[in-house]
C-alpha cells in the first residue's frame, strides 16, 4: 500500500469529529434560531427613538408607565418598526 494508513485514519477521525461538531452546532442553532425567527416574523417590533432599543412584542400590552429599559423614556418614545 502506498498510502500512509495512519495518516488516513487520522484524517478520517478528524473529519468525524468535525462532523460531530457541525451536528452539535446545528442542534444549538435549531434550538435558538427558529424561535428568534418566529418572533421577528410574527411579532411587531417597536424601536425607541432615543436609544434605538428594540422592543419585540405588543407594546400596547405593557402598562402605561412602561419605560425603555435602556434610557427610561416612556412608551410614547417608541415607534413601530415596519419590517
Residues of the shown chain interacting with Zn ion in the complex, contacts defined by CB under 5 A: 48, 50-51, 53, 68, 70-71, 73
Shortest separation between residue 55's beta carbon and Zn ion, angstroms: 9
The CA–CA distances, whole Å, from 22 to 13, 33, 34, 80 equal: 14, 15, 17, 38
Q: Closer to Zn ion at the Cβ: 28 or 50?
A: 50
Shortest Cβ 19–Zn ion spacing (Å)? 44
Contacts of 41 (CB under 8 A, 6+ apart): 83
Smallest separation, CB 46 to Zn ion (Å) = 10
Q: In terms of CB distance, is 11 or 50 closer to Zn ion?
A: 50
**Residue 70 neighbours by CB under 8 Å, 6+ apart:** 48, 51, 53
Amino acid at each position: 500500500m502506498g498510502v500512509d494508513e495512519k495518516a488516513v485514519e487520522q484524517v478520517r477521525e478528524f473529519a468525524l469529529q468535525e462532523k460531530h461538531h457541525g451536528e452539535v452546532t446545528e442542534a444549538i442553532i435549531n434550538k435558538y434560531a427558529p424561535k428568534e425567527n418566529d418572533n421577528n416574523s410574527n411579532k411587531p417590533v417597536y424601536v425607541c427613538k432615543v436609544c434605538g432599543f428594540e422592543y419585540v412584542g405588543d407594546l400596547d400590552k405593557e402598562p402605561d408607565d412602561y419605560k425603555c429599559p435602556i434610557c427610561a423614556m416612556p412608551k410614547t418614545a417608541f415607534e413601530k418598526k415596519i419590517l
